[in-house]
Amino acid sequence: MPRFFGVDLAWRDSTPARAANETGLAVIDETGAVLSAGWERGVDAVAAWLIASAAPGDVIAIDAPLVVTNAAGMRQAEREVASGYGRWKVAANPMNLASPLQGGTLLRERLEHAGFVYVDGTEPAPTDRVALFECYPYTTIVGMEELGYDERRPRYKRLDPAASRTEARVLRAAACDQLIERMTGLDTADPPLRMRSHPLSAALVDDDSPLLDAPYKHREDLLDALLCAWTASIWHRHGGARVQVLGAGAAPDESGRRPTIVAPARPMQRVAEPEPAPVAAVSADLEDRADGASRSTALSAGDAELEIGMLARVLALSAELQASDGQRLEPALRSELGELAARIARRLAAEH
């Protein structure tokens, strides 16, 4: 019987001057029972735990960029998160080779060296090796109808800047507790997740979310690890019937790995699969937009529909700045997005 591992990885690895943040870890089986749960700190410790725990046929879902090939900007998979899930206020932080937050690629390399295999989600998991893929818990939360987030994601990450810090912490805790309550109902889902089957996951159900940031983050990391493990089970159980592969059209790296995100999806969240394109073209696309914004070049009237779509992505990404996993957009990309938004707004104002 395969087991499903969830890893809510801290993207920045430990350094001599600074220890990594905690990584949440969870393991479930096909019945939804939580077999193991806890925390580790640093890529080496996480890799050691996985190598000691996983066996051929098991599947690992990791919330961190595992394959990064673009020199700048964002990966195609991250663009498609905004395209498919922006209506639910979900977008992904951009990742590129210039970012210092490469914990995911380091973890993948460690695991591959131990004989694990990276899969992009387009084919079933191998039975003779441990498979690992990238996931994003927010897409699971809004993509699985069983959790009931039909209009927007729960705001259980960042504090609401419109509220006082005290009120914002209360609202964040309430959103987290509501999410956990809904997850408690997954014991009859297909596949199931039985939150009360392990002492640590049961404590998430029985205890109120703390208001202080450090204990809250400790709790949230385990919650996200459980969502990752459930995502692995969903993919293994249903494949493309309940899951889409974001970035499937992206160019592979030198070893044939495609930088994808395996994302549960409702029918209206599915993104049309683009034709495969070279990595350089993906990066150049964002660079062209930045150049165009700086020159204030007007687009043709036939591009109005595309402009509106791009605006939706920009707004979704902007919203995620206030509700992400603690990572912020790099200043250069934030500036590019701001210029793009201004350009779109000017164009739409001129046409309407």
Q: Is 234 exposed, middle or buried (0-12, 13-18, 19+ CB in 10 A)?
A: buried
Q: What is the pLDDT of residue 350?
A: 53
Q: Indicate whether 318 pLDDT > 90.
A: no
Token pair of 297 as six digits: 């070049």
Q: What is the pLDDT of residue 178?
A: 98
- What span, in angstroms and rounded, lies between the C-alpha atoms of 240 and 203? 33
Domains in the chain: boundaries: 3-269
Q: What is the pLDDT of residue 14?
A: 86
The residue with greater pLDDT, 122 or 318, is 122
For the segment 329-334, the average pLDDT, to the nearest whole number, is: 53
Q: What is the pLDDT of residue 15?
A: 87
Q: What is the pLDDT of residue 175?
A: 98
Q: Indicate whether 316 pLDDT > 80.
A: no
Q: What is the pLDDT of residue 266?
A: 98
pLDDT digits (tens, 9 = 90+) for 164-209: 999 999 999 999 999 999 999 999 999 999 999 999 999 999 999 9
The dihedrals phi and psi of 39, each to the nearest 5 degrees, come to -140, 150
Q: What is the pLDDT of residue 272?
A: 81
DSSP 304-330: HHHHHHHHHHHHHHHHHTTSSSS----
Q: Indicate whether 311 pLDDT > 70.
A: no
Q: Indicate whether 283 pLDDT > 60.
A: no
For the segment 253-263, the average pLDDT, to the nearest whole number, is: 97
Contact predicate 35/25, CB 8 Å: no
